[in-house]
Amino acid sequence: MLGENFPHRFFYIFLMSLLAFGLSTGEILMSIPSIGLAINWLVEAKFKAKWERIKSLRYSPLAFLLVYVVHIFWLLFTNDVNNGVKDLVLKLPLLCFPLVLGSIPILSKKEWWTIVFAFIAGVIVSTLAGYYVYFLKDITDYREISVFISHIRLSILIGMSILLILLALFHFESKQKYWLLIPLILFAYFIRILESGTGYICLAMAIFVFLVYQAYIFKKKIYFISLLVFTLISFAGGTLWVYFAYESVVEVKDSADINNLEQTTAIGGKYIHHLESNLLENGYYVWLYVCPEEVDSAWQQRSVFKMDSLDMKGQPMYGTIYRYLTSKGLRKDYLGVMALKDEDIKAIEKGNVSAMPRKYGITARIKEIIYEVISFRENIDPNNRSIIQRMYYLDAGYQVFKSNILLGVTKGDEMETYYKFYEDNKSRLRKEYQLRAHNQLLSFFVCFGLIGGIIILFGIFYPIFTLKKHFLSYVILLFLFIGCITDDILDTQAGVTLFSFFYCWAFFQTKSSFYHKSITS
């Protein structure tokens, strides 16, 4: 297997396996193997053979290099060269992986699956660390259980791992494959407790793609009919699921008579009633029977947290107090706060907005998204509300792009331009939440305008349309593009390494036969 290329071939496999393991376990195990791959590539030489390999791929690795070339060239237009250079250093994987993986001899099936299992092992370590935090630590945010990398990127990696494990379970001959059921169960349950919308999408996509692949492999009409029926039932069931979740969020339990509301509290304070608001918490109207002065007075007696401060989740304390009181059917006044138990006070300080038992799973996440969308429509404070913030980010990115449509703002000046936009438009987002577009495709056009953005998209899509690959290679890219839609995936070391490595691995180092039958060939 290694032959005359030893030891360079050995180092390629070892470093790629270490890198695959490190994609979910931290930056050190990503950066060191990346540097090692580049050094090994240079020391090995054989550049004529490498050039022939690139030519055999119809120059696709060079096309992908355009992504990095645009970053270099646009440095000429930036006002902040230091930030631009830092970004170039961060994006070095976009230079390294196309050259290395696009020019060395293709992996054997056994080598390919060695890297896959190293990748799965890293995801296992990352999820076990998350389970440790979840069960043994006192956390205030579900994202804290993604210990080493962003919860969005971890969700993508788990989805990819589930698909690869399903392929191994159904297409390997070894009896040892059944050990893979353990990480499969661990991953599926971890998605549930992580409560990432991206995670649920990736899980559903992994299962759906696997079923499509199975139907394709067996090539029997009954499988395709069964898949179609399953898809239709799943779509209908999902639609009903969302509908009933929405109905539960907007269901009114409040017995207050809108036409006959009391105007003063039991101790003489004046109530505020926002009749135009339909925002509910556990079926009760949040903005009825609100007396801020009395709540503030009572809260000072119950907690060291100030009412105009933030709770432990970074949410406005007054909003958490109001929602929590509402969830218990209490009025937002002095007596309402004083009726709370000590454990209620601690729960509010931790950022719990409801006295109802915390629920997990996809239904809970759907309800949370629905609530945030309703809150956005009612112009509620957007800070620390992921869905609402993303709407602000997308709007900011689009407006910045429109103002710099041809050449963009460059990477060096990107964040300064965003900050100026938020300031000029008197954004309600606090400084720490004033971020970029959180959509990689939009961010390309923000930074490099129409000209640079089109060149980058050409570099990314040229190999996709030029190289004929197994459809599962395209599915791996689909997982990556989900990350591009929900995040600026190329603006962190973990994200740019993940994207560039898996992109080049799926298109320059993968054969159709790698996805099925035994791994011994």
Final residue before a domain boundary, out of 349, 383, 401: 349
Co-location of 165 and 265 in the same domain? no
Q: 502 or 220: whose pLDDT is higher? A: 502
pLDDT at 127: 96
Residue 121 in this model has a pLDDT that exceeds 70: yes
Co-location of 312 and 173 in the same domain? no
Three-state secondary-structure class, residue 187: helix
Final residue before a domain boundary, out of 300, 328, 349: 349
**Whole-number Cα distances in Å, 195 to 13, 364, 475:** 35, 8, 23
CB contact burial 375-406 (16+ within 10 A = b; e otherwise): bbeeebebbbbebbbbebbeebbeebbeebee
Q: How far apart are CA 243 and CA 237, in angstroms?
A: 10
For residues 207-211, give the mean pLDDT: 86
Final residue before a domain boundary, out of 349, 378, 399: 349
pLDDT digits (tens, 9 = 90+) for 138-164: 776 777 898 998 888 999 999 999 999
Q: 225 or 112: whose pLDDT is higher? A: 112
Co-location of 206 and 287 in the same domain? no
Indicate whether 415 belongs to any domain: no
Q: How far apart are CA 381 and CA 317, in angstroms?
A: 11
Residue 520 in this model has a pLDDT that exceeds 70: no
Co-location of 450 and 326 in the same domain? no
* Greatest extent of the chain over all pairs of C-alpha atoms, in Å: 90
pLDDT at 516: 65
Co-location of 299 and 213 in the same domain? no
pLDDT digits (tens, 9 = 90+) for 169-182: 887 777 788 899 99
pLDDT digits (tens, 9 = 90+) for 295-350: 999 999 999 999 989 888 888 899 999 999 999 999 999 999 999 999 999 999 98
Co-location of 219 and 295 in the same domain? no
Co-location of 267 and 233 in the same domain? no
Instruction: Kindly compute the dihedral angle of the four CA atoms of residues 22, 26, 27, 31, in this order, to the nearest 10 degrees.
Output: -20
Indicate whether 422 belongs to any domain: no
Confidence class for position 7, pLDDT limits 50, 70, 90: confident
Task: Give the residue among 376, 371, 349, 455 at the shortest CA–CA distance from 408.
Answer: 455
Q: How far apart are CA 378 and CA 393, in angstroms?
A: 18
Confidence class for position 5, pLDDT limits 50, 70, 90: low
- Given its phi and psi angles, is residue 361 left (phi above 0), alpha (psi -120 to 50 degrees) or beta? left
Indicate whether 387 belongs to any domain: no
Co-location of 157 and 70 in the same domain? yes
* Contact between 439 and 394 (Cβ < 8 Å): yes
Co-location of 44 and 76 in the same domain? yes
Q: State the burial class of residue 373 (Cβ atoms within 10 Å of its Cβ: 0-12, 13-18, 19+).
A: middle
Domain that holds residue 343: 258-349
Co-location of 178 and 270 in the same domain? no
User: In sequence order, which ranges of 74-108 are alpha helices (DSSP H)?
Assistant: 81-90, 93-101
pLDDT at 360: 65
Lowest mean pLDDT among 223-227, 231-235, 465-469: 223-227
Indicate whether 414 belongs to any domain: no
pLDDT digits (tens, 9 = 90+) for 254-291: 888 888 899 999 999 999 999 888 888 888 999 999 99
Q: How far apart are CA 202 and CA 157, in angstroms?
A: 9
The tokens 């259980």 sit on which residue? 145
Indicate whether 72 belongs to any domain: yes
Indicate whether 325 belongs to any domain: yes
Instruction: Work out how many domains the chain is built from and give that number.
Output: 2
Indicate whether 251 belongs to any domain: no
Q: Residues of the chain with pLDDT > 70: what percent?
A: 97
Co-location of 230 and 304 in the same domain? no
Residue 48 in this model has a pLDDT that exceeds 50: yes
Q: How far apart are CA 94 and CA 505, in angstroms?
A: 12
Residue 16 in this model has a pLDDT that exceeds 90: yes
Indicate whether 100 belongs to any domain: yes
pLDDT digits (tens, 9 = 90+) for 360-402: 667 777 888 888 888 777 777 788 778 888 889 999 999 999 9
Residues 6+ apart with CB under 8 A from 111: 1, 13
pLDDT digits (tens, 9 = 90+) for 460-501: 999 999 988 888 888 989 999 998 988 899 998 889 999 999
Co-location of 279 and 132 in the same domain? no
Angle formed by the axes of helices 181-194 and 109-136, nearest 10°? 50
